[in-house]
Amino acid sequence: MTQKRLTPPMLPATALPETLALDAGLIVDPVTGAIQPNISMSVNNLVTPGEGAFSAAGLTDITQEPFTYARWLNPTVRALETRMAALEGAEDAVAFATGVAAIAGTFLTLLKQGDHLIISDVTYAGAAELARAILPDFGIEVTPVNLSRPDALQAALRPNTRLVHCESPCNPILRLTDLKQVAQIAHAHGALVSVDSTLATPVATLPITLGVDLVIHSLTKFINGHGDALGGIVAGRKDLIARTRGRAGVYLGAAMPAMNAWLILRGIDTLFPRMRQIATSAQQVATFLETHPKVTRVIYPGLPSHPQHALAARQMAIPGGMIFFQTADPAAMARQLAARLRVLHYAFSLGHQRSIIVMLDTADMMQGSYALTPDQLADYRSYAGDGGFRLSIGLEAADDLIRDLDQALAG
Ligand SMILES: Cc1ncc(COP(=O)(O)O)c(C=O)c1O
């Protein structure tokens, strides 16, 4: 029995992102006609002797083969990949067990001994630790660069630079990267560009339309949006995704479990209305925080006070759900907030339906990071001081969040 696969070509060509978020990659069950996605939990599928690839799966285009073995390709995971590719306007996508596996998979596919990686000097800490502590063991040179400065990128390029990896907004300080400009500079030099777009989501930014080669997400965050599944994805040009799937998808072995793909597909169904509601609340909370006497600085792309507000307006359709703010004595304030907050949750991670706040100590962050230049350190401190609060807005009533922060910040 052939599967009826409802993929973007079967949707009207005019289908808009909100519709693609529901229907791209949907497989209508051929037996029952069920229109909610099935979960295919089977590790293996029946095969026909003499047909399909039974070994060296990483060396063949397994997306063209019958489903065989879940680490190579699983129907539910494939539905998620198809949907994410459609949302990013990418030719294809490959899913991983986590966001970090998607980042590691990209690096280990595109870089080899003797190559040079330029990476944003501020990224999610796990990406920084991987680049700083592990890639050099494979003979890969790494230079951390403030990618909001085109002159710094230009100066860091070397003949062996193969990849420029950015984040926008950067976790945690919400500095932005002009993706179009970075892509132009890197491409003129023959280097590829990847961006971790987790904090933006495709609702805010479509990096491929700006010239970026590969878009990476931790699906664990806003895209799933419910804090109950880990996942990662890399989307981009077909040949680059085929290479990433072949090398890292198959041989890194960090395959996404089908149950997670199913949960994340369900999360994506509501991605657009969720993100718009979250951004509306975030704008209200950020505006409130800016007036609070205990708050010394607020960084939110939707505020005119953001140092790159014009870029935010150009590059982000919505200003997102993340806020970063400073107070005096952040360690003491962290203890106070953890003890007093009643609606917000003092915890790590971000992008869930419930609001989450955590203090990130600058000395701690720097310990896991690179040896930054005094200029780079000064830039980080200008956003974060000795430490700042990373606030991920959820779906609670904005007024409840504001009241909660107000009472908890009060001394
Ligand atoms: C921007 C960003 N990228 C990647 C990751 C890693 O994602 P995961 O925990 O799914 O591996 C995180 C996690 O916090 C993140 O914030």
Cβ of 104 less than 6 Å from ligand 1: no
**Last residue of one domain, picked from the residues 269, 290, 314:** 269
Compute, in angstroms, the gap from residue 2 CA to the centroid of ligand 1.
Answer: 37
Lowest average pLDDT, out of 109-113, 229-233, 373-377, 403-407, goes to: 373-377
Q: Domain range for residue 384?
A: 271-409
Q: What is the pTM of this model?
A: 0.96
Mean residue pLDDT of the chain comes to 94
Q: Given phi > 0 = left and psi -120 to 50 = alpha, else beta, which region is 398?
A: alpha
Residue 290 shares a structural domain with residue 255: no
Which residue, 253, 269, 285, sits at the end of a domain?
269
Residue 249 sits in the same domain as residue 341: no
Q: Confirm or reject: Cβ of 96 under 6 Å from ligand 1.
A: no
- 194 and 212 both lie in a single domain: yes
pLDDT at 372: 84
Ligand 1 in reach of 218 Cβ (< 6 A): yes
- Tell me, in angstroms, the distance from the centre of ligand 1 to residue 368's CA: 15
Task: Pick the atom of ligand 1 nearest to 230's CA.
Answer: 10
C-beta 230 within 6 A of ligand 1? yes
Domain count, the chain: 2
Q: pLDDT class for 29, splitting at 50, 70, 90?
A: confident
CA distances (Å), origin 282, targets 318, 398, 401: 10, 8, 10
Same domain, 234 and 262: yes
Mutation probe of ligand 1 site: the residue of 107, 171, 348 with most atoms within 8 A of C-beta: 171
Q: Are residues 252 and 334 in the same domain?
A: no
Q: Does residue 171 register a pLDDT over 70?
A: yes
Asked if residue 230 and residue 323 are part of one domain, the reply reads: no
Q: What is the mean pLDDT of residues 213-242?
A: 97
Residue 283's domain is classified under what CATH number?
Answer: 3.90.1150.10
Q: What is the pLDDT of residue 329?
A: 96
The top-scoring range by mean pLDDT among 4-8, 151-155, 248-252 is: 151-155
Nearest protein Cα to ligand 1, atom 8:
99
Range 242-254 average pLDDT: 92
- Claim to verify: residue 330 and residue 343 sit in the same structural domain: yes
- Please tell me whether the peptide bond between 169 and the residue prior to it is cis, using omega within 30 degrees of 0: yes
Q: Is the CB of 100 within 6 Å of ligand 1?
A: yes
264 shares its domain with 279? no
Q: Is the model's pLDDT at 344 over the cut of 60?
A: yes
Angle at which helices 258-269 and 75-88 cross, to 10°: 40
Asked if residue 106 has its Cβ within 6 Å of ligand 1, the reply is no
pLDDT of residue 7: 54
For residue 176, give the nearest of 147, 145, 138, 144 by alpha carbon.
147
Please state the φ and ψ torsions of residue 164, each to the nearest 5 degrees.
-115, 120
Cα of 31 to ligand 1 centre, how many Å? 38
CATH of the domain at 76: 3.40.640.10
The pLDDT, as a whole number, for residue 2 is 54
Within this chain, do residues 148 and 82 fall inside the same structural domain, yes or no?
Answer: yes
Kindly give the number of the ligand 1 atom that is closest to the alpha carbon of 171.
1
Q: Among 14-18, 33-37, 252-256, 315-319, where is mean pLDDT lowest?
A: 33-37
Q: For the CA atoms of 325, 181, 110, 250, what is the dihedral angle to 10 degrees?
A: 60
Beta strands at 387-392 and 141-145: parallel, antiparallel or unpaired: unpaired
Best residue for ligand 1 mutational test, from 119, 124, 234, 352 (most atoms within 8 Å of Cβ): 124
Most ligand 1 atoms within 8 A of CB, residue of 98, 177, 218, 263 to mutate: 218
Residue 348, SS3 per DSSP = coil
Q: What is the mean pLDDT of residues 85-106?
A: 98
pLDDT tens digits, residue range 257-303? 999 999 999 999 999 999 999 999 999 999 999 999 999 999 999 99
Looking at the CA of residue 220, tell me the nearest atom of ligand 1.
Answer: 10
Q: For residue 225, is pLDDT > 90? A: yes
Same-domain pairing of 173 and 215: yes
Query: Mutate which of 96, 98, 100 to test ligand 1's pocket (most atoms within 8 Å of Cβ)?
Result: 100
Residues 227 and 94 in one domain: yes
Domain boundary among 229, 247, 269: 269
What is the model's pLDDT at position 12? 86
Q: Give percent above pLDDT 70 in the chain.
A: 96
**Are 28 and 14 within one domain?**
yes
State the average pLDDT over residues 188-202.
Answer: 98
Mean per-residue pLDDT, 8-37: 84
Comparing 177-186, 277-286, 372-381, which segment has the lowest mean pLDDT?
372-381
